[in-house]
């Protein structure tokens, strides 16, 4: 049988187009070549084949990526800007709020705010923001005072944050 009739049989068998069959053949061929190369070439230690310039490029790319991660600004659900430069990122990837005067520019809706938005409130860190989110899963906030139902938020903390809170309905 010719290659063309074999291709038509495979197309009919698998219900795929000619282009899809060619793509699969290229992928499988590349995989087999990679396996053969890996088996027959001498084993090198990981990344030992990189030149000094390549290693320097990787180091620069890593530093640029970490800088972008630490200064990324996004937009919260309410459309207000989130400046993540006010957060330290630990090696585990957790955000810890820096001690600064970066307060929200608009009131934060307790019923829809993101964790990052909640962490902008005075006295609210990662754990307290998570508690607020857990609380609202079972019960909506009907007034800003309801935040005092969260363990760790008393009258003193509430007084510092109340001007930054709202409980508008979901949009």
> How confident is the model over 123-137, as a mean pLDDT?
91
Q: Give 62 or 50, the one with higher predicted confidence.
A: 62
Q: CB of 115 within 8 A of CB of 130? A: yes
| Neighbouring residues of 50: CB distance < 8 A, sequence distance ≥ 6 | 58
* Strand ranges, E, within 21-167: 73-75, 81-83, 87-89, 95-97, 108-109, 165-166
DSSP 3-state of 94: coil
Please check the confidence at residue 46 and state whether its pLDDT lies above 60: no
Q: Give 77 or 155, the one with higher predicted confidence.
A: 155
Q: In which element (H, E) is residue 73 found?
A: strand 73-75
Q: Per residue in 59-97, pLDDT tens?
A: 788 777 766 665 555 555 555 555 554 455 555 555 554
Query: What is the DSSP secondary structure assignment for residue 163, as one 8-state letter?
Result: G
> How confident is the model over 144-161, as a mean pLDDT?
92
0.75 cut: is pTM over it? no
């Amino acid at each position: 049988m010719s290659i063309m009739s074999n291709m038509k049989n495979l197309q009919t068998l698998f219900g795929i187009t000619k282009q899809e069959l060619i793509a699969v053949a290229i992928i499988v061929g590349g995989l087999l070549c990679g396996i053969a190369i890996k088996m027959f070439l001498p084993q090198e230690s990981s990344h030992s084949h990189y030149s000094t310039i390549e290693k320097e490029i990787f180091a620069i790319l890593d530093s640029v990526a970490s800088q972008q991660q630490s200064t990324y600004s996004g937009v919260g659900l309410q459309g207000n800007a989130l400046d993540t430069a006010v957060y330290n990122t630990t090696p585990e990837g957790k955000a810890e709020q820096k001690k600064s005067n970066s307060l929200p520019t608009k009131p934060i809706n307790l019923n829809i705010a993101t964790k990052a938005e909640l962490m902008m409130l005075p006295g609210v860190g990662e754990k307290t923001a998570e508690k607020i989110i857990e609380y609202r899963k079972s019960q909506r906030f009907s007034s800003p005072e309801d935040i005092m139902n969260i363990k760790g938020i008393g009258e003193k903390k509430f007084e510092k944050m109340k001007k930054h809170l709202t409980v508008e309905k979901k949009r």
